[in-house]
Amino acid sequence: MSNVQSYSLFTDFDISLFKAGKHFRLHEKMGSHICTVDGIKGTYFAVWAPSANQVSVIGDFNHWKDGEHLLQVRWDSSGIWEGFIPNVGHSDTYKYKIHSNHDGIVTEKADPFARRAEHPPKTASIIYSTDHVWKDQDWMQKRHKHNSLNAPFSVYELHVGSWKRKTEENNRSLSYSELATELVAYVKEMNFTHVEFMPIMEYPYDPSWGYQLTGYFAPTSRFGYPEELMTLIDAFHQNDIGVILDWVPSHFPEDAHGLGNFDGTACYEHPDRRKGYHPDWKSLIFNYERNEVRSFLISNALFWLDQYHIDGLRVDAVASMLYLDYSREEGEWEPNDQGGRENLAVISFLKELNQEVYASFPDVQTIAEESTSFPMVSKPVFSGGLGFGMKWMMGWMHDTLSYFKRDTLYRNHHHNEISFSMTYGFTENFMLPLSHDEVVYGKQSILGRMPGDEWQRFANLRLLYTYMYTHPGGKLLFMGSEFGQGSEWNFEEQLDWYVLQYDIHKGIQKTVADLNHLYQTIPALYEKQFEADGFEWVAHDDDENAVLSYIRKGNDPDTLVIGVFNMTPVPRTAYRIGVPKNGNIQEVFNSDASIYGGTGDYHNKKLKVSKTSWNGKTHSIEIVVPPLAGIVLELKA
């Protein structure tokens, strides 16, 4: 006889929404919920296992004995098994033992909706109810200004486990609580507007960096309790810094306790391996054609935005989702009903995801990591787009790093590489990413790509960042790149903080902090960062000198910003550029300044606009452009 009482949190309306794929608050019903029934405190459990013929809750409270606590299947063919277990509660560990009606398969699964999980390599779920009093009311009321598309987006991307470690304590990672002090202070000092965490949902395998999830609703227990993560997010918000999470709706691992083969059948994954298995990552792909799976994923996205006050979701591997032939040879994929290679179910899913996110949380952003030319990724659904707020500009990243890697002697022959991004720069709302993917697997660090002697390498890096921060679009920089780490990122070790004993690395760090400040304090650099009329070329074709120059404009027609970039180690003196009008002009940033490790020999202190037409403009100025440097000028009418 089962020691489980009949009880349900589901209404008939809940079930109809779930079956239709329209229930986007499933976490309020599914999983384990501490409650009181008939005056007795205990826990209600609900799990979706449509191909099961028996489901029991096993845990430390029943010595992991199968059949001791049997859940009851609902009568409505929803596939949900549920029940209330008295005297079971907070911090008890559990799993579901599922007997399949398919080939007699028996599985032991962690709860897909668990709010907390055991520390890997242990794999059980933990009954948990968070207790955190949020103190970020000021941020939440005004964050629509910080997260707006016409606000500065300067993102510090990090891997929580390797940002900084306690080397004297067996090289352990910092806890969420420790990060709430050290990381928040650092990000604020560096003037970033947002942080982006690589996935922090529970994952079993450290080398996956968190991209192979088993606990979609549970913060990884590696760094502490759920409340400690909330405290960390709260601390960022109290310091006016937004928090973006990496979110992985594209695939999941085949680990025995995870979502794969959940009830003895392909429950969450697509049953056709051509659609349900990812050859690159040897993982399973969600079945986006299944309504219940869509409800699971969209509920998960809203869960983090709601329960953890998250300001944005960076959606991982969107390209792999959109195309049926992604990483597949001919014969390994099947065209869609229209004969094309697009995954129509995914397109529908992403549109619904973004519509629901922005309807419920209009003051957040979704950001697509999408590397192809798929159209209108960051355009609204009502106009035919996928509905993301922004898209990573992978083309800019690739072309820019390819160009900067070149010996400066030959850059004038490849000048089109550095100017090409603006031929498509406003087809999407682009974010410029120098992410973790660019500093691993033999690609070298960003500094490691720079050519020349030591001085030239660091000058090139300062030039690259100056170009990046004045180029239209949001900015994203992976941890370590902001102080010129020389080695590739290693997730098992902390960043090379020791290099900051050297002035040349401190100079890079100071450069990034000041560029962040510049970006946020000059509206012309962000107000129209996704609009074509916020940008104007001065000269994109001076390949002879390998100098690039352009204008950035905001809402104030009387103020504009000019960026000029010398891609060679030869200073350009008496260099004339065109400007569209007369006014007072001054240099507001110079990457060759001595405080950054530059020569400090080339400044533009007294500039005067003349009526000499140049570069197709009515006026012009004569400037000096330092070697391997970018300068930023502000012109006010």
- Is there a contact between 95 and 108 (Cβ–Cβ < 8 Å)? yes
Measured in whole angstroms, how far is the alpha carbon of residue 83 from the centre of its chain?
Answer: 37
pLDDT given for residue 3 in this prediction: 85
Rounded CA-CA distance 237/147 in Å is 12
Radius of gyration of the chain (CA): 27
Task: Kindly state the average pLDDT of the residues 305-314.
Answer: 98
- Choose, from 316, 352, 527, 587, the residue flagged as catalytic: 316
What are the φ and ψ backbone dihedral angles of 532, each rounded to 5 degrees?
A: -60, -30
What is the tens place of the pLDDT at every residue in 468-491?
999 999 999 999 999 999 999 999
Residue 1: pLDDT band with limits 50, 70, 90 = very low
* 316 part of the active site: yes
Rounded CA-CA distance 615/539 in Å is 7
3-state helix, strand, coil in the chain (%, to 5): 30, 25, 45
What is the tens place of the pLDDT at every residue in 319-342?
999 999 999 999 899 999 999 999
Rounded CA-CA distance 296/231 in Å is 26
Neighbours of 18 (CB within 10 A): 24
- Is there a contact between 21 and 351 (Cβ–Cβ < 8 Å)? no
pLDDT given for residue 269 in this prediction: 97
- Choose, from 14, 92, 263, 369, the residue flagged as catalytic: 369
DSSP 90-108: TT-EEEEEEEESSTT-EEE
- Is there a contact between 145 and 138 (Cβ–Cβ < 8 Å)? no
Helical pair 454-470 and 394-405, crossing angle rounded to 10 deg: 150
- Is there a contact between 304 and 216 (Cβ–Cβ < 8 Å)? no
Residues above pLDDT 70, as percent of the chain: 100
Per DSSP, the three-state class of 6 is: coil
Task: Kindly state the average pLDDT of the residues 522-535.
Answer: 97
Neighbours of 335 (CB within 10 A): 11
Q: Taking 50 as the threshold, does the pLDDT of residue 141 lie above it?
A: yes
Residue 37: pLDDT band with limits 50, 70, 90 = very high
DSSP 504-557: HHHHHHHHHHHHHHHHHH-GGGTTTTTSGGGEEEEEEEETTTTEEEEEEE-S-T
pLDDT given for residue 2 in this prediction: 66
pLDDT given for residue 103 in this prediction: 87
Compute the mean pLDDT over every residue in the chain, rounded to the nearest whole number. 96
Per DSSP, the three-state class of 35 is: strand
Copy the structure tokens of residue 156. 């510090």
Task: Kindly state the average pLDDT of the residues 128-141.
Answer: 96
Output b/e per residue, 462-482; b: 16+ Cβ within 10 A.
Answer: bbbbbbbbbbbbbbbbbbbbb
Q: Taking 90 as the threshold, does the pLDDT of residue 102 lie above it?
A: no
H-assigned helices in 167-223? 176-189
Copy the structure tokens of residue 202. 């529970």
* 206 part of the active site: no
Task: Return all residues near 447 (Cβ < 8 A) that are at least 6 apart.
Answer: 457, 458, 461, 481, 484, 485, 486, 508
Task: Return all residues near 564 (Cβ < 8 A) that are at least 6 apart.
Answer: 538, 547, 548, 549, 575, 577, 623, 625, 630, 631, 633
Task: Kindly state the average pLDDT of the residues 240-267.
Answer: 97
Q: Taking 80 as the threshold, does the pLDDT of residue 534 lie above it?
A: yes
Q: How many residues does the chain have?
A: 637
Task: Return all residues near 225 (Cβ < 8 A) that are at least 6 apart.
Answer: 116, 176
Rounded CA-CA distance 311/234 in Å is 12
Rounded CA-CA distance 17/23 in Å is 5
| Domains of the chain (ranges, CATH numbers) | 12-109 (2.60.40.10), 532-636 (2.60.40.1180)
Return the closest-CA partner of residue 516 out of 155, 144, 147: 155
Task: Kindly state the average pLDDT of the residues 399-425.
Answer: 94
Copy the structure tokens of residue 327. 């990483």
Task: Kindly state the average pLDDT of the residues 188-211.
Answer: 97
